[in-house]
Amino acid sequence: MTKDQWGQLKQDLLKTIGKSNYKSWIEPLELSHVDEGVATFAVPTSFVGNYVSQKYGDQILYHAQGISPEIRRVHFQVPANQARRPAAAPRAAAKIEAMPKHDSGIPAAPLDRRFTFDTFVVGKPNELAHAAAKRVASGGPVTFNPLFLYGGVGLGKTHLMHAIAWELSQRQPELNVVYLSAEQFMYRFVSALRERKMMDFKSMFRSVDVLMVDDVQFIAGKDSTQEEFFHTFNALVDGGKQIIISADRAPGEIENLEERIKSRLQCGLVVDLHPTNYELRLGILQSKVEYYRAQYPGLVLVDGVLEFLAMRITKNVRVLEGALTRLFAFASLVGHEITLELTQDCLADVLRSSERQVTIEEIQRQVSDHYNIRLSDLIGPKRVRIFARPRQVAMYLSKQMTSRSLPEIGRRFGGRDHTTVMHGVRRIDELRIADNQIAEDIDLLRRTLEA
């Protein structure tokens, strides 16, 4: 592939990914050389290279192979003669590496060296998920298959997936461990269809020893991809191979996912990573502080700052860690100790956006737990009293505690009409006056959600 051909390939990518993404990520890339089937691209920073590799690497490889079929892999690197960045920055970026490829020929997604079991902070909300991940990573006989990890954004699913992959690759280097996102699985499936290489695709994925698929909810609604995933899943399980899956919700709660796939995913161990509590968030911050003290020696952290952050930033661990990173960097640049006042000034936007905002999904989960019913029954079509009353309570709380419109609330409750939501809200309003138990339930749920 020549540089002129790369220029034409970039124009093809522009049509595919849009102008904004193109200008941010593809335009800065320069073709460096092609050697032994590897196309190497120069990137301005390691961060850009890592992001492009994860987000657009498959697309670039697919287009490149259309021009030069001998290209088997794409590689992104910062030129050696480029001005070096500050010493602290490359350390974090250099820790993102690709899993070694085995005979299957499947290019696995990059893994972050920081995401190991040693750096995973264990607390009550995630202790079961951590224990299950450690059991799978031990490499012994398959005891539960698949292992299905689910939870909200930033609770540690990807961290545990990476940790399992690293542990397995160290304990048993001969194992063919493949980690990739559901989006990458889908893209490779579509590419195989276009190139009429479905038999190659099937044989590649059925030859792995451990298959790890992140964010499986993204294949929901994509019938052909679900069909192939189903058959791949069955073939691996029948062959005694380990499968590890993650998603943002439980299998039964993923809309537009085929029932037979839901059934297969539920036949193993399904583990929920619960939202973090104060103690776990504080533990995460304390572990990160130890890392930053080595980078910023002499920087003073005043007592109470970590407790303040753990109390205010409650929903997303990534945001919590990012806030601490920004705080240390800012304090080192201005040469001040990290005080509570500096923290509030530096992180004003993060603290504003992290103010407690209850979602309909949180309300549904809390109500289903309170009344000891399944979430699928709460939002499902059944009208029996044991499900209908909690459903009305959840609708009432959604109307009172969120800014969502009645039609939007109805859609979140199984596609119900807004008039159904209105009736439910009015009914609970009436019952709050006439039924002390309903009033107590509402008050308890409200306090729990606002905590």
Series of mean pLDDT values for 10-residue runs along the chain (451 residues): 82 77 81 86 78 80 82 82 41 44 53 84 88 87 84 86 89 85 86 84 84 89 89 88 90 87 90 84 86 80 88 82 88 86 86 74 90 89 89 91 86 89 90 87 83 62
Cis check for the bond before 146: say yes or no (omega within 30 of 0): yes
The superfamily in CATH containing domain 111-273 is P-loop containing nucleotide triphosphate hydrolases (3.40.50.300)
Identify the pLDDT of residue 355: 64
pLDDT of residue 244: 93
- Residue partners of 205: CB distance under 8 A and separation at least 6: 104, 106, 178, 211, 232, 236
What is the pLDDT, as a whole number, of residue 160?
A: 93
Where, residue-wise, is CATH 3.30.300.180 in the chain?
A: 3-90
CATH superfamily of 360-450: DnaA protein, C-terminal DNA-binding domain (1.10.1750.10)
Counted residue by residue, the chain has a size of 451
In what order do the strands lie in the sheet containing 177-181? 177-181, 210-214, 242-247, 147-151, 269-273
CA distance 262 to 350: 37
- Listed in order, the ranges of the chain carrying CATH 3.40.50.300 are 111-273
> Residue by residue, what is the 3-state secondary structure of 349-402?
HHHHHCCCCCCHHHHHHHHHHHCCCCHHHHCCCCCCHHHHHHHHHHHHHHHHHC
Distance, CA of 42 to CA of 63 (rounded, Å): 18
Secondary structure of residue 445 in the 3-state scheme: helix
pTM score of the predicted model: 0.58
The fourth-level CATH superfamily of domain 3-90 is: DnaA, N-terminal domain (3.30.300.180)
CA 27/CA 56 separation, integer angstroms? 13
Amino acid at residue number 378: L
Question: Which class does domain 278-353 fall in?
Answer: mainly alpha
CB-neighbour burial class of residue 122 (10 A; exposed 0-12, middle 13-18, buried 19+): middle
The pLDDT value given to residue 101: 46
Give SS3 for 34: strand
